[in-house]
Structure 1
Amino acid sequence: MFGAVRRLATAAASAQVSRLQDVVIVGGGPAGLSLLAALKSSHKTRHLKCTLVEGGSLDNIRTFGEDPPENYTNRVVSLTPQSVEFMQERIGSWQYINQDRIKFYSSIVAYDSQEKDARIQFDASMTDGNGVLAVMCENINIQSLLLSRIDEIGDSTILDNTKVLDIVHPNKPEINHDLTAEPQTTSPGLDWPIVQLSNGESIQTRLLVGADGYNSPVRKFSGIESRGWQYGRFGVVATIKLQYEDYRSIGWQRFLTTGPLAILPLTEDNATIVWSSTPELSDILLKVTPEIFVHLVNAAMTLDEVDLNYIYGVLKKDPTDTSVLEEIEWRMSKIKLSELEEKYPLPVSEVIDKSRARFPLKMSHADTYVAPRVALIGDAAHTIHPLAGQGLNMGQSDVAGLVEALEKGVERGMDIGSTLVLESYVSNTWPANSMLLGVCDKLHKIFSTDFYPLVLLRGIGMKSLNMLDVVKDLMVKSMAR
């Protein structure tokens, strides 16, 4: 649809009076809000006329800072020190973070379900991140701090509860125009794309930015291809409570053949889980009672996969069969208490009501992030397996790269929508993103098999790697960027 509209502009679009803007950002997630805040925080780009369009409501985000919910939401992300620094130094938004709902952690322990002694620990002391490997933070907390920063600066427009109905090109794409002129009224002769909105408004923009997710209408309009695949797996998320607060500040991840299960610390006795699983298992995890779910998480972090598969089989027939509780307790009793305390996370005691949800896992990457007068950031440009927790951080890197390119364009008096300005954004971000996407994809495939020769090799690899501090240093520094 958008490709056809791109080639053949409608008469209605050219006749409609449009408001001119320098930048229109579609999408009010962390990437879109970060870009708006960064543009308005930079003395080089703050003069640009900017509008952000979001299809949903931002009301709950606006009220989060003053009246957060009692329990953590189930959309929690891991921020690297570099992302935090970007919010502190370049955007100036970190001062608005709800400090009571973030958790700094200093270590990650990853281990293999097929090889008992195959585990590796990454420690923040290997980095220059002031003893911090990452920061656990709710998505809504990030959006809230960015909105607060945008409100503080002013001089920009946010249209929420407003959907993009269409994106079209004007009828006359090629005329000369004054790049230094203040955008005030429409000019159908410009080659700027026209964004038609559900509120009846039409905006013609020098640069259109897609921060609108995997099914990005902006990407479809631009004609940029995105390639990748579905993993045939689902990520199950939930907010949980531990038996007590874990002062070790460790993030735990166990590689199961169905997919990795991660337990990541939050403040006090709170934690969040991301459990990558098969469609069949994810369905079970959503259907079982809260009590069974809690025991399943504890079992999945400790028991052999033979035991787990037996338990899954029982629950497949009846997700409410409480006999599995005795089965899990009996099998767990065979593990020494000292081993449980030393090698595994604290037991889960509760799952927060209505916090369980699932989403399909996929990998995708756009062939490029730019087209004439179009740029893509965040999930519109790439989606990644959550096993490394890098999705949001990649989006922040996109924002930093795009803002840098636009600043250079403004300094040189160039048209910020031209590919001459935008190409440096692609060259500085696409290769690193592609490498990270490839690494996560290969890790998923390597650890989601029970083929014994490969299990043996990966076990040897993990044990050997754990003894090579120099290599671990490089990996940790890469993860923390």
Structure 2
Amino acid sequence: MRPISRAVLRPYVCPTCRHGISAGRRRFGSKSDSPDLYDVVCVGGGPAGLGLLAALRASPITSKLKVALIESQDLRKAKAWDLEPNQFSNRVSSLTPSTVSFLRSIGAYDHLDVNRVQDYQDMQVWDGQTGSRISFDWSMETSPFEDMRTVATMTENANLVRALLRRIADLGDENLSLFSNATVASIENGSDLKPEGPDLSAWPVLTVKPTGPAAETETPKRIAARLLVGADGINSPVRSFADIPTQGWDYGRHGVVATLALDEPATPPFPASKRTAYQRFLPALGGPIALLPLPDNHATLVWSTTPENAAYLKSLPTPAFLAMVNAAFRLDMTDLTYMMGMQSSSSDSTSHQDELTWRAQHTPLPSQIPPAATAVQAGTVASFPLRFRHAAQYISPRIALVGDAAHVIHPLAGQGLNLGLADVASLSKTIQYAVSHGMDIGDLLTLERYSSERYLPNAKIGGACDLLHKMYNVPGEGPVALARSLGLGVVDRLPFVKSFLMKNAEGY
């Protein structure tokens, strides 16, 4: 934890007495030396940071707080983001029902472009090594007289960010400062500059520096935060300033993403509005492949594999890439391993498809395979490294961490963004409780409420994803493969156990 020696005295010395103690000291400071004071300063303008800002502004209890957000990207571009109706970003997230409920409660969900949002009511998961499978759907627990419950809702991150920005704009700009195209040049402990003002010795003071064309004309600004929130990602400067360590490791895996167009399903879904997500574990190739539905028969691909395989997939021409995706849901491990090593060139783009066609004729196809991928949206094939990180603590005096600044998990369960927004929901309620009870929103005793609510749930979900990743990366037919096959089969045959897991996945 960062050193804040003066802060130790603050809870035990009243302001009047502290003024008396400080009166004999001479101060050489001007008003220009004093930073602008804010109740809450959030660093990071992604879904977590914007979600916190929207939640605070939407609540009557906290709407009058003076708040600021600092983001290195251009928020005006994010607010004006737009794509053609049949084009989709490759940065897509799966929102649980509890996350959707939170977004509705702060008025942000109404600003989403619903034509770019897709619910799904079923998820088929199976082991490519052993063939064991499990189905997650609510059809068995849904009355014929009610709509099917949703497993999750797919939306592009850019659609969500735009909706949050529009909601914040609707709530007005009183006591609000948005530092767009700006970076945090430094963070330091404040000082007790004025005896008649607040003691800033424990307040983080940030130097905000504009970037881009404005960097040469605008001078950096200094702002002090009663509460500084780090929503600034895995390499969080706020966490570094608070001297909070993290534990974790790199998986040595990359996630390959792409936006795909799918063929019509062989069997029309019933009811017609029902949509299905697919995930198959591929131990021999380094991780699972998932196909998650988007509107108009599109889907987003997330394939966790080794860096070598990821580089190979990205180097393939489009027909070969599509063949590999379709093969990953249909062929056995031996065939897939062979195809992953095939030579490919732009002049011979059909060899992978020919190989898939021939091998599929001699392979029993699972009943739950997705429709074939028929096209790749240009410019959407990309990859990113997979990591596990968990901060030793989420809070420090006048500091709180949310989202990736506090925890980064394996994406196989699609919980990363949901955990971050659950952090935001908890922290916003903690701030509301403190304001309504006359408490200091940056005090450690106040922030303990947030930390106790979120640390253990995040650790459990992160640990479970880590365990699943390790279990499903053991190739072959050994004891581990038999154990996971048995476990998957047992859970699929016990409705009450499966229902329990699904309700936990919903986030309630």
TM-score, length-normalised on structure 2? 0.86
Provide the residue aligned with 2:149 in structure 1. 131
- Paired residues of 2:189 and 2:201 also in contact (CA < 8 A): no
Q: Which runs of 5+ in 1 are unaligned?
A: 179-187
- Paired residues of 2:119 and 2:151 also in contact (CA < 8 A): yes
Question: Given the superposition, is the C-alpha separation of residues 12 and 32 from structure 1 closer, same or farther in structure 2, using an over 3 Å criterion?
Answer: farther
- Paired residues of 2:38 and 2:224 also in contact (CA < 8 A): yes
Name whichever of 127-136 and 149-158 sits farther off.
127-136
Q: Out of 232, 235, 240, which is 2:255 matched to?
A: 235
Task: Give the 5 Å matches for 1:244-393.
Answer: 244=264, 247=269, 248-257=274-283, 258-315=286-343, 322=349, 323-335=351-363, 339=365, 342-393=367-418
Q: Out of 75, 80, 101, which is 1:85 matched to?
A: 101
How far has the Cα of 1:332 moved from its partner? 1.4
Task: Give the 5 Å matches for 1:364-443.
Answer: 364-443=389-468
Q: Distance in 1 between matches of 2:38 and 2:84?
A: 34
Q: Distance in 2 between matches of 1:387 and 1:292?
A: 25
| 2:129 counterpart SS class | coil
Provide the residue aligned with 2:495 in structure 1. 469
Query: How many positions carry a matched residue from both structures?
Result: 461
How far has the Cα of 1:171 moved from its partner? 3.6
Matched to 1:430, the amino acid is Y
- Paired residues of 1:164 and 1:197 also in contact (CA < 8 A): yes
Q: Percent identity, please.
A: 39
Task: Give the 5 Å matches for 1:71-82.
Answer: 71-82=87-98
Q: Out of 73, 78, 81, which is 1:64 matched to?
A: 81
How far has the Cα of 1:192 moved from its partner? 1.2
| 1:205 counterpart SS class | strand
Matched to 1:76, the amino acid is V
Q: Out of 226, 242, 245, which is 1:206 matched to?
A: 226
Q: Distance in 1 between matches of 2:32 and 2:386?
A: 43
How far has the Cα of 1:325 moved from its partner? 2.4
Provide the residue aligned with 2:206 in structure 1. 195
- Paired residues of 1:169 and 1:192 also in contact (CA < 8 A): yes
- Paired residues of 2:324 and 2:352 also in contact (CA < 8 A): no
| 2:60 counterpart SS class | coil
Provide the residue aligned with 2:183 in structure 1. 163
Matched to 1:92, the amino acid is G
Matched to 1:231, the amino acid is Y
- Paired residues of 1:194 and 1:202 also in contact (CA < 8 A): yes
Q: Distance in 2 between matches of 1:329 and 1:56?
A: 45
- Paired residues of 2:94 and 2:152 also in contact (CA < 8 A): yes
**1:105 and 2:120 matched:** yes
**1:95 and 2:101 matched:** no
Question: Given the superposition, is the C-alpha separation of residues 78 and 151 from structure 1 closer, same or farther in structure 2, using an over 3 Å criterion?
Answer: same
- Residues 89-135 of structure 1: CA distance to partner in whole angstroms, max 9, x if unpaired? 2x11111110100001001110001112x000011346789511100
Provide the residue aligned with 2:134 in structure 1. 120
Q: Distance in 1 between matches of 2:30 and 2:120?
A: 52
Q: Distance in 2 between matches of 1:101 and 1:81?
A: 17
Q: Distance in 2 between matches of 1:362 and 1:207?
A: 28
- Paired residues of 1:14 and 1:170 also in contact (CA < 8 A): no
Question: Given the superposition, is the C-alpha separation of residues 391 and 133 from structure 1 closer, same or farther in structure 2, using an over 3 Å criterion?
Answer: same
Q: Which runs of 4+ in 1 moved over 3 A?
A: 11-17, 67-70, 125-130, 171-178, 245-248, 317-322
Matched to 2:99, the amino acid is S
Question: Given the superposition, is the C-alpha separation of residues 421 and 14 from structure 1 closer, same or farther in structure 2, using an over 3 Å criterion?
Answer: farther
| 1:294 counterpart SS class | helix
Question: Given the superposition, is the C-alpha separation of residues 215 and 14 from structure 1 closer, same or farther in structure 2, using an over 3 Å criterion?
Answer: farther
Provide the residue aligned with 1:458 in structure 2. 484
Q: Distance in 2 between matches of 1:162 and 1:53?
A: 6
Question: Given the superposition, is the C-alpha separation of residues 3 and 190 from structure 1 closer, same or farther in structure 2, using an over 3 Å criterion?
Answer: closer
Question: Given the superposition, is the C-alpha separation of residues 350 and 453 from structure 1 closer, same or farther in structure 2, using an over 3 Å criterion?
Answer: same
| 2:457 counterpart SS class | helix
| 1:77 counterpart SS class | strand
TM-score, length-normalised on structure 1? 0.90
Provide the residue aligned with 1:150 in structure 2. 168
| 1:87 counterpart SS class | helix
How far has the Cα of 1:147 moved from its partner? 0.5
- Paired residues of 1:387 and 1:440 also in contact (CA < 8 A): yes
Q: Which runs of 5+ in 2 are unaligned?
A: 7-27, 211-219
- Paired residues of 1:174 and 1:189 also in contact (CA < 8 A): no
Matched to 1:135, the amino acid is T
- Paired residues of 1:22 and 1:207 also in contact (CA < 8 A): yes
Q: Distance in 1 between matches of 2:40 and 2:62?
A: 10
Q: Out of 235, 249, 253, which is 1:215 matched to?
A: 235
**1:480 and 2:506 matched:** yes
- Paired residues of 2:29 and 2:193 also in contact (CA < 8 A): no
Matched to 2:137, the amino acid is D
Q: Distance in 2 between matches of 1:366 and 1:13?
A: 39
Matched to 1:303, the amino acid is L
| 2:90 counterpart SS class | coil
Q: Out of 17, 32, 44, which is 2:49 matched to?
A: 32
- Residues 22-78 of structure 1: CA distance to partner in whole angstroms, max 9, x if unpaired? 11000000000000000011111111100000011123321136x667510000000
Matched to 1:120, the amino acid is I
Provide the residue aligned with 2:37 in structure 1. 20
Provide the residue aligned with 2:217 in structure 1. none
How far has the Cα of 1:313 moved from its partner? 1.6
- Paired residues of 1:175 and 1:190 also in contact (CA < 8 A): no
Q: Distance in 1 between matches of 2:129 and 2:288?
A: 12
Provide the residue aligned with 1:181 in structure 2. none
